Structure formats: C-alpha cells, structure tokens
Amino acid sequence: MKETKNRRMEIITATLELAAERGLGTVSMQQIAEKVGITKASLYNHFSSRDEIVEAMYGILREASKTQMGSEGINYDSLSPDIPLKAILLESVDSYRKMVSYPRMFQFYKVIMSERSINSAAADIMVKETRTMINATKTLFYALQVKGIADFVNPDVAATSFAMTVHAILDHEFDLMFASTSNEVGSEKKIVSGNGTGKSADGNPAGMPTVGKMMQDYIDEFCRIYSKKQS
C-alpha cells in the first residue's frame, strides 16, 4: 500500500513538472511514464487518464500544503465579540494565502491558471477551488453572525462577495509575481526592493506590498460596513 502511494506521488510530481515545462495540454501519458521510469501499462494501473492525475494532484497537493504551512483554519469555538472582525478576516486570508503559496501548490496553480481557458480539467479545478473557498467563507460568516461579531443582512451574499473579491486580489498578486519572474528572466536582472533582498519585509517578491495594501484596504472597508455595532 505504501509503495503504491509513493508511486502515485511520483506520477503526480512528474506530471506537474512536465506541465510546468511544456504546458498541461501537451503532456501525454507516455511522457509521464517515461519521466517516472515505468511502462505506460504500469501507469494505467494507477491512473486511467491525465485528467485523473490532475484531479488527484489537486486534492493531494492541497492537503499537503495545508499540513506543511500549518493552515488549520479558524477555530470557531474561540471566536468572541472581543476579537475584531478585521483580525479574524486577516487571519482567514493569510491562512489561505499560505496554503496556495506552498511551492508545489503554487507551481500547480501557475499551471492551472495558465491552462484554464483552454483545458476543461484545469477549468473544473478552478471552479472547484472557488466553490470550496466560497463555502468555507459562508461557514465562517454564519459563525461570525451567531457570535455577534458581524452583522450581515444576507451572510451567503456577503460571503460570496468577500470570497470572490479576495480570490481576484490573490489572482492579481499571482499575475504580478509571474510578471516579475518573467522580467527577471528576460533582463537577467534581479528586482530589488528597499531592503536589498528582492523581497519585501514580509518575504514576498518586490511589488507585493502595494498589493498587500489593496487587500488590507478592502478588508478595512468590508469591516466598516459589516462589523457589529456595539450598542
């Protein structure tokens, strides 16, 4: 069983590396088998298609990134009106950001985001991830309402709006990082921020502080509207 699990992980890793190099749409089962060092027939003993590999990749890497980055999510039992809504939302966003920034997961999203308009499997994964994010946000917002931390007229609509906006801002951050990486490769120059490391004080690539402020400004405004007013 352990050997089978390890082999499946080898296949997933090989597929991700090939997709990052060549594009997901061009990767064949034969290429995957050759990279892993097994026969194509052996590969089919583990996965019936490339799309099945990609689907498994999503689930396994998501769980692995949550474990590695310590993204345990919000402890609903600890929520109380004494905790500011802003602190809770920032923790929630930071937890998600850490998960998707885990190296393998980030590489996976880079492939999926570049392929989603031309590959149905990639599009399905983006739909699934967006729905997962929206549902998790709905659960959080119902808890915030019950605990008297937030005041939503319609928690479902507020959660969908929040999740989709956060998703869009994170996508924008990814785009900036991809653009920065491309510029570095093209010019063979390192982007250097004020601290001379090529990264901001929080460890993000140069340029990220501005986008971080975008997220913070959005959460500030969201809290201004929905924080429970103390009577």
pLDDT at 202: 45
* Per-residue model confidence (pLDDT) at position 190: 36
Per-residue pLDDT tens digits for 78-95:
899 999 999 999 999 988
pLDDT band at 52 (very low <50, low <70, confident <90, very high): very high
* Assigned token pair, 68: 């590695």
- pLDDT digit string (tens) for 60-69? 888 888 777 6
At residue 204, the pLDDT reads: 45
Position 16 scores a pLDDT of: 94
- Rounded Cα distance, 16 and 13, in Å: 5
- pLDDT recorded at residue 17: 94
Whole-number pLDDT of residue 1: 61
pLDDT of residue 179: 74
**C-alpha span between 53 and 11 (Å, rounded):** 8
Residue 86's alpha-carbon distances to 120, 165, 210, 227, in angstroms, are 37, 16, 19, 8
Taking a C-beta distance cutoff of 8 angstroms, is the pair 211, 169 a contact?
yes
The answer for 73, left when phi > 0, alpha when psi is -120 to 50, beta otherwise, is: left
> Using 50, 70 and 90 to split pLDDT, how confident is the model at 118?
confident
Q: Which of 49, 53, 42 minimizes the C-alpha distance to 15? A: 53
Whether residue 40 has pLDDT greater than 60:
yes
Domains in the chain, ordered, with CATH?
A: 72-226 (1.10.357)
> Minimum mean pLDDT among 14-28, 100-114, 156-170: which range?
100-114
Give the number of other CB atoms < 10 A from CB of residue 194: 9
pLDDT at 57 over 60: yes
What is the per-residue pLDDT across 141-197, written as a single tens digit (0 to 9) for each?
Answer: 999 999 999 999 999 999 999 999 999 998 888 777 767 665 654 544 333 333 333
103 pLDDT band (50/70/90 cuts)?
A: confident
219 versus 200: which is more confidently predicted? 219
- Residue 10 contacts residue 48 (beta carbons within 8 Å): no
3-state class (DSSP) for residue 190: coil
- Mean pLDDT on 67-73: 66
Q: Which of 25, 33, 95, 24 is nearest to 66 (CA)?
A: 95
- Report the C-alpha gap between 10 and 4 in whole angstroms: 10
Q: 34-42: long-range contacts (C-beta < 8 A, 24 or more apart)?
A: 36/7, 36/10, 36/11, 38/7
